[in-house]
């Protein structure tokens, strides 16, 4: 409006000058030279204002349409570098949180498989219940055998679960997330109890444990022709076995087996000869038994011979010899259990260990790492199967049930400990995600302050610039009209 008033004033001044000049001419003052000068606002100033307004309007439209205050480096060279660093950190933290969430999903799958409904702990508790049930004194041997079959089926279920549960095609509970172990001999196996570094073990002079065994005979028939008594002495107790001339070897074997807590007996044949074979219930030196008459003398007069002394398993590693009554070695190498099959005789064997644990970064710089691993929970690793791959729980004898309770309690403790560790890892990752989320919100707020358009402020700028453009355009039009009016008043023909 100010420009319009100014141009109007100029126009009126020009008209006054023209009128004055015309009056002098009409009064005959032809000898006087009339000079007139008309000043107009330069068009360049108005065009420059229009260009500036147009650029500001385009910039505002771009910011409003994209929602970004900085659309290119020229918008703010100093701030664009800061914004780029913030954007990189925000995107990296989002990817990191996805990685951590995947790890949580892995642990949740393992956690439920162990402690969830019908998980490993439920199965182990069922096995313990069966062991207690087998101790009922009113049960017959057939009843106990049925319970034994149930326990074996439950062990098979653990085997099936630990070898089938997986996450993203990788087995979770069979040691694949801990270590893979291979051996060069079928009579030697090894299982990881905890984290192991990749290495190779060289074992020598490997022998398996044996049972103390006696044979009485030979007899040319299964019927005895005399009567007698002998004593089988174990570590904790002894049994006295009597027989008469009418007894068969099968009768004596059944009589020995009825005690079921010192030795077991069976009738074996070799060619035309028949023997009564008596074997200790426990392997190794500690499980040895002795056969004697009532005077305490070895019953060599009955034809008894010791066919196996009952030796411990043994092996040599790094110049040191280790022994084990059961054939399981836990003291040879840290966090490794080595199992040697009964009666094995292996000159040397190699155990190859490959660490399969993985590390997950807890920050975008990768400086802090979380080691992810899940222990081997297969029946072989837990001890539910022995060195020969047979079921380790024997409910047929009182001593077997006592050992079974001790074994299952130890296994439940191990599995519970692993479930607790896995749950703790879940909590650690959730806490880390919460921290990253909070930190990322602050980064996003800072990034938004730099990059995002203030809609209200930008709309105000756009309105102002549009009004200024309209005014400048109008004034440019008025200027041109004024010039045209002056030219017309002067009678100047612009077409010549």
pLDDT tens digit at each of 496 positions of the chain: 444 454 455 445 555 555 555 455 445 445 454 455 555 556 677 777 777 777 777 777 777 777 676 777 767 787 788 888 888 999 999 999 999 999 999 999 999 999 988 899 999 999 999 999 999 989 998 999 999 999 999 999 999 999 999 998 889 999 999 999 999 999 999 999 999 999 999 999 999 999 999 998 887 666 665 677 888 998 878 888 888 878 888 888 998 988 877 899 999 988 888 889 999 989 999 999 998 887 777 777 677 889 999 999 999 999 999 999 999 999 999 999 999 999 999 999 999 999 999 888 888 888 888 888 999 999 999 999 988 889 999 998 888 899 999 999 999 999 999 999 999 999 999 999 999 999 999 998 887 787 667 677 767 777 887 777 777 777 767 777 777 776 776 666 655 5
Q: Cite the DSSP H helix spans in 233-374.
A: 249-259
The answer to whether the beta carbons of residues 227 and 252 sit under 8 Å apart is: no
Residue 461 is assigned to a structural domain of this protein = no
Look at residue 342 and give its three-state secondary structure.
coil
Residue 446 is assigned to a structural domain of this protein = yes
Look at residue 133 and give its three-state secondary structure.
helix
Residues 51 and 152 in one domain: no
Residue 353 is assigned to a structural domain of this protein = no
Of 308, 323, 350, the position where a domain reaches its end is 308
Q: Cite the DSSP H helix spans in 192-273.
A: 249-259
Residue 334 is assigned to a structural domain of this protein = no
The model's pLDDT over 162-218, given as tens digits with 9 standing for 90+, comes to 999 999 888 999 999 999 999 999 999 999 999 999 999 999 999 999 999 999 888
Long-range CB pairs of 322-327, under 8 A, 24+ apart, other chains included? 324/209, 324/284, 325/209, 325/282, 325/283, 325/284, 325/285, 325/286, 325/287, 326/209, 326/283, 326/284, 326/386, 326/387, 327/208, 327/209, 327/283, 327/386, 327/387
Query: Which residues sit opposite 308 in a β-bridge?
Result: 213
Residue 22 is assigned to a structural domain of this protein = yes
Of 265, 284, 308, the position where a domain reaches its end is 308
Residue 394 is assigned to a structural domain of this protein = yes
Residues 49 and 99 in one domain: no
Residues 80 and 168 in one domain: yes
**Residue 298: its H or E element:** none
Residues 424 and 405 in one domain: yes
CA 123 to CA 422: how far, in whole Å?
19
Structural domain of 127: 68-178+363-452
Of 308, 331, 351, the position where a domain reaches its end is 308
Residues 82 and 162 in one domain: yes
Residues 448 and 473 in one domain: no
CATH number at residue 437: 1.20.1330.10
Residue 272 is assigned to a structural domain of this protein = yes
Residue 26 is assigned to a structural domain of this protein = yes
Residues 445 and 384 in one domain: yes
Residues 369 and 285 in one domain: no
Q: What is the per-residue pLDDT for 495?
A: 58
Q: Count how many domains the chain has.
A: 3
Residues 373 and 445 in one domain: yes
Residues 251 and 171 in one domain: no
Residues 427 and 471 in one domain: no
The answer to whether the beta carbons of residues 311 and 199 sit under 8 Å apart is: no
Residues 15 and 94 in one domain: no
The model's pLDDT over 289-329, given as tens digits with 9 standing for 90+, comes to 998 887 777 777 677 889 999 999 999 999 999 999 999 99
Q: Which residues of 96-116 are buried (b: 16+ CB within 10 A; e: fewer)?
A: bbeebeebbebbebbbebbbe
Token reading at 305: 């011979």
pTM over 0.95: no
């Amino acid at each position: 409006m100010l420009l319009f008033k100014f141009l109007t004033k100029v126009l009126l001044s020009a008209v006054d000058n023209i009128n004055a000049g015309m009056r002098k001419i009409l009064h005959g003052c032809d000898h006087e030279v009339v000079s007139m000068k008309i000043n107009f606002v330069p068009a360049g100033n108005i065009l420059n204002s229009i260009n500036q307004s147009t650029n500001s309007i385009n910039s505002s439209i771009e910011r409003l349409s994209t929602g970004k205050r900085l659309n290119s480096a020229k918008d703010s060279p100093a701030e664009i570098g800061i914004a780029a660093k913030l954007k990189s950190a925000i995107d990296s933290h989002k990817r990191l949180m996805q990685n951590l969430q995947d790890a949580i999903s892995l642990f949740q799958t393992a956690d439920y498989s162990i402690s969830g409904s019908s998980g490993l702990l439920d199965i182990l508790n069922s096995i313990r219940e069966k062991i207690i049930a087998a101790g009922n004194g009113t049960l017959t041997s057939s009843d106990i055998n049925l319970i034994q079959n149930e326990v074996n089926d439950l062990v098979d279920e653990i085997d099936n679960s630990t070898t089938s549960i997986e996450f993203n095609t990788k087995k979770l509970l069979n040691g694949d997330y801990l270590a893979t172990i291979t051996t060069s001999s079928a009579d030697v196996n090894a299982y990881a109890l905890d984290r192991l570094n990749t290495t190779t073990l060289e074992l020598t002079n490997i022998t398996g444990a044996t049972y103390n065994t006696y044979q009485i005979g030979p007899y040319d028939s299964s019927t005895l022709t005399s009567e007698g008594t002998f004593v089988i002495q174990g570590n904790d107790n002894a049994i006295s076995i009597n027989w008469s001339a009418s007894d068969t070897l099968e009768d004596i074997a059944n009589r020995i087996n009825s005690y079921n807590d010192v030795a077991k007996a069976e009738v074996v044949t070799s060619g035309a000869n028949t023997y009564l074979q008596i074997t200790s219930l426990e392997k190794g030196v500690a499980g040895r038994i002795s056969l004697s008459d009532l005077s305490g003398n070895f019953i060599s007069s009955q034809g008894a011979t010791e066919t196996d002394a009952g030796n411990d398993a043994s092996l040599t590693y790094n110049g040191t010899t280790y022994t084990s009554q059961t054939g399981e070695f836990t003291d040879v190498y840290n966090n490794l259990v080595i199992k040697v099959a009964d009666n094995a005789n292996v000159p040397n064997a190699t155990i190859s260990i490959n660490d399969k644990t993985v590390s997950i970064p807890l920050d975008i710089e990768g400086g802090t790492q979380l080691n992810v691993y899940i222990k081997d929970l297969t029946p072989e690793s837990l001890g539910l199967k022995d060195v020969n791959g047979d079921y380790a729980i024997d409910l047929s004898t009182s001593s077997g049930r006592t050992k079974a309770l001790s074994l299952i309690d130890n296994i439940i403790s191990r599995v519970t400990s692993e479930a607790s560790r896995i749950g703790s890892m879940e909590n650690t990752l959730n806490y880390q995600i919460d921290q990253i989320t909070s930190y990322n919100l602050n980064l996003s707020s800072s990034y938004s302050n730099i990059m995002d358009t203030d809609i209200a402020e930008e709309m105000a700028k756009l309105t102002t610039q549009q009004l200024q453009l309209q005014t400048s355009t109008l004034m440019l039009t008025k200027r041109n009209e004024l010039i045209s009016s002056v030219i017309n008043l002067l009678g100047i023909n612009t077409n010549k």
